Amino acid sequence: MASTLTYDRSGLTSLAVGERGVSDASRASLSASLAAARSAVLDAHTRGDLGFLDLADLDPTPFTSWASTLDPDLTDQVVIGIGGSTLGAFAILETAGPSGAGGLRTHFAENMDPVTFSALVSSLDPATTLLVVITKSGTTVETMSKFWILYARFRDAIGDDVDAHVIAITDPERGSLRPLAMSRGWKTFSVPPNVGGRFSVLTPVGLVPLAAAGFDIAGLLDGARDARDAARDLPVDSNPALQAAADAHILYGQGVSIYVMMAYSDLLSGLVDWFRQLWAESLGKSTDRKGRAVHLGQTPVKALGVVDQHSQAQLYMEGPFDKVVALLEVASFPTDLTVPELDGFPESLSHLVGRGMSEILAAELRGTQLALADAQRPSCLWSFPDLSARSVGAFVMTWEFVTAVVGELWDIDAFDQPGVELGKRIAHGLLGREDLVDFAAGFSLASGEGSSLAIPRSE
């Protein structure tokens, strides 16, 4: 039977990497806990707490129908958000690309960098650009600051027509963006209240800009449904999501505190960025559900093969035994190039003549995998059969389920982010929000003489 995603654990086993690997006994002893963790996730879904599992069943038609009604003069869209509001759609478009004719060119306004944002603003034609603002609360500093800058520029250029160029994606009832959108007549879409930002790519947060870009969202949802049903229904021992959760949990208990995800395709790089937020923000917690101090978390690290074979691999091979490397491969690329035979080609490289780039890339990945095993460093392999929307959807849903299960194994809340909220509140106070000025003033950095050092300019 064809698959949308395959998880190969052979590089994690004790047979491959010795005592630093995951033993059959460790996996067997965790079987009952895995089943209980899955049941806990599914029970929370039944209670209505975890809406991300419902998203695979969404009907794509309302989104594709809406996209088909967009003004034909529109050429671009700017997706304005940060974190979970943009990482997912960016990753999916980077991986599988627009698949429909006439989709809008898509730009993502994420970071608060005045140089790059100014360049983006200057490149846009307000008359042919759609502004998609995404914030559940309506009070996200980075998002709303950039949106108001763009909105003001667009209003100056096209007057009252600006409101027809705005799409607001926000909470269905709460927050400050919803009433603002209603007062100005903006088209709105709702984020389900029971879906957190980093789990929201399959909600309108991701589906609206993807539909406007001409992306195959039906295929994306099909892949997510494949993965959701597999995670929910397959036996524990043959369940990719549950076994991936088990392996991460067991290795973490053995001192593996860093999870490296190494993509062997430029087009998978965005998915690794998306994974980093999901893994770090969901599992990095100071307390468990009983309020006990635990300070748990496995640090996600992004790497790109083959580039980082010449950068980070030395550390992975010979540094501390605190890492697992998850390799991402694409079994079939949509295009390829072959090394030609030309005069002057070095004899020492003659074996490359006639080889495709995809074949060379596959050999590089296999070489890394074998070298890691030889150095007793655990690794695993996630294989995409292709770069289709369906394969990407399966990856997204699989990792959302893996994250939820690990949260259950660790007895933490994988769906909050209290460590992020404090910094936001302090920033609001530093910027003059009246109810938080005194709160922000209560924080300071203790510094002494010599804390700040400078390199002097030469004359």
- List residues with catalytic annotation: 281, 310, 424
At residue 281, the 3 state secondary structure works out as: helix
**How far is CA 307 from each of CA 4, 72, 198, 365, rounded to the nearest angstrom?**
26, 41, 28, 11
8 A C-beta contact, residue 212 and residue 75: no
Structure tokens at 78: 């700017």
Please list, in sequence order, all residues whose beta carbon lies within 8 angstroms of the beta carbon of residue 183, skipping any fewer than 6 positions away.
Answer: none
At residue 216, the 3 state secondary structure works out as: coil
Q: Which H or E run contains 405?
A: helix 389-410
Query: Residue 131 region, left (φ>0) first, then alpha (ψ -120 to 50), else beta?
Result: beta
Distance CA 314, CA 312 (A): 6
At residue 395, the 3 state secondary structure works out as: helix
Q: What amino acid is encoded at 14 in this protein?
A: S
Distance CA 434, CA 428 (A): 9
Please list, in sequence order, all residues whose beta carbon lies within 8 angstroms of the beta carbon of residue 224, skipping any fewer than 6 positions away.
Answer: 55, 56, 202, 393, 394, 396, 397
CA atoms in the 13 A half-sphere facing the CB of 188: 19
Distance CA 41, CA 92 (A): 25
8 A C-beta contact, residue 275 and residue 396: no
The secondary structure of residue 187, as a DSSP letter, is: E
